[in-house]
Amino acid sequence: MSENETTMETAILDGKALSQQIKQEIAAEVAEWVAQGHRKPHLAAVLVGNDGASRTYVDHKVKSCAQVGFTSTLIERPADITQAELLDIVHGLNADDGIDGFIVQLPLPRHIDDQAIIEAVDPKKDVDGFHPSNMGNLALGLPGFVPATPAGIMTMLERAGIETEGRHAVVIGRSSIVGTPMSLLLSRSGNPGNCTVTLCHSRTRNLAEECRRADILVAAVGRPEMIKADMVKEGAVVIDVGITRVEDPTAKRGYRLKGDVDYNDVAPKCSWITPVPGGVGPMTIVSLLRNTLAAAQRGASS
């Protein structure tokens, strides 16, 4: 194709490349922070049990800390840990002045009440943004920690210069971690933001019809390739949060990662689309790093 020929092409929202760029920006801020005489920001992660996907996510988080000049601590416990023991760990991290922020990787084993653990985290160290006080601040448009996955998606939209104001966003999935905070961020006043938002879930009557109305479609369900081309408007921006391991004996690890969007079917209709892997996932990690740097800076000034 010659240089002056134009076609309506699908652009890929490359979360991997963008996350590397933002990590460099964070590393520069950390270097300056440390040069001012502060200690390195310190993130702790608590990993319970042997879930393969959770281990992979936590490993990425720990590795990313080193890349930006943070200290990290990984606390691993077996799946049969009691709720009281896990609460003790959370209380210890709350009280430890050497830790700026921490996360407890979800999901937790069934005998543990996730909500009780989330509520035990000091909101000032809650870099996942899951504590009710951070969630409440988000709902009210007040400052606080924003959950990393929706925050990463907002950064992607912003850095790509995607116009959101007045557009119709459809979010599929109402989880506390992604769908609900995503709907709040897209609807709140700001840039990106100012969308008209529809939040779809398992009881939505005609999902395909709702999806077809979306200028911006965010799929966060965890059902591989459920979004097909006939559910997507021509020119839509499609953000795929799904990352499900699907068995595949021909793959090196024995599985393949699949998004909620049937990428090959849907991509030709989109103005922008995120791939899986390499889309939203890496952006989640940079948002967690940003939250941790903010926690360190707030902690030092309080």
The strand pair at 11-12 and 42-48 is best described as unpaired
Q: In what order do the strands lie in the sheet with 11-12?
A: 11-12, 272-273, 237-240, 216-219, 168-172, 196-200
Residue nearest to ligand GUN (CB): 106
* C-beta closer to ligand GUN: residue 41 or 242: 242
In whole angstroms, give the CA distance from residue 4 to residue 29. Answer: 40
Give the tokens for residue 18.
């963008």
128 is catalytic: yes
Estimate to the nearest angstrom the gap between the alpha carbon of 65 and the chain centroid. Answer: 16
252 is catalytic: no
Task: List residues near ligand GUN by CB under 6 A.
Answer: 103-106, 128, 148-149, 177, 284
* C-beta closer to ligand GUN: residue 104 or 261: 104
Of 67, 58, 62, the closest CA to residue 25 belongs to 67
Q: Nearest distance from residue 195's CB to ligand GUN, in Å?
A: 22
Q: Nearest distance from residue 237's CB to ligand GUN, in Å?
A: 22
HSE (side-chain half, CA atoms, 13 Å) at 60: 18
* C-beta closer to ligand GUN: residue 68 or 214: 68
* C-beta closer to ligand GUN: residue 148 or 195: 148
The answer to whether 126 touches 134, Cβ cutoff 8 Å, is yes
Q: Which residues, other chains included, contact 202 with Cβ-Cβ below 8 Å and sequence gap of 6+?
A: none
Q: Nearest distance from residue 165's CB to ligand GUN, in Å?
A: 27
Q: Nearest distance from residue 103's CB to ligand GUN, in Å?
A: 4
80 is catalytic: no
Residue type, 200: C
Q: Of these residues, 61, 124, 125, 258, which one is catalytic?
A: 61
Of 268, 195, 190, the closest CA to residue 228 belongs to 268
Q: Nearest distance from residue 205's CB to ligand GUN, in Å?
A: 28
The answer to whether 175 touches 220, Cβ cutoff 8 Å, is yes
Q: Of these residues, 100, 125, 126, 128, which one is catalytic?
A: 128
Q: Of these residues, 105, 126, 233, 240, which one is catalytic?
A: 105
* C-beta closer to ligand GUN: residue 69 or 281: 281
Q: Active-site residue numbers? A: 61, 105, 128
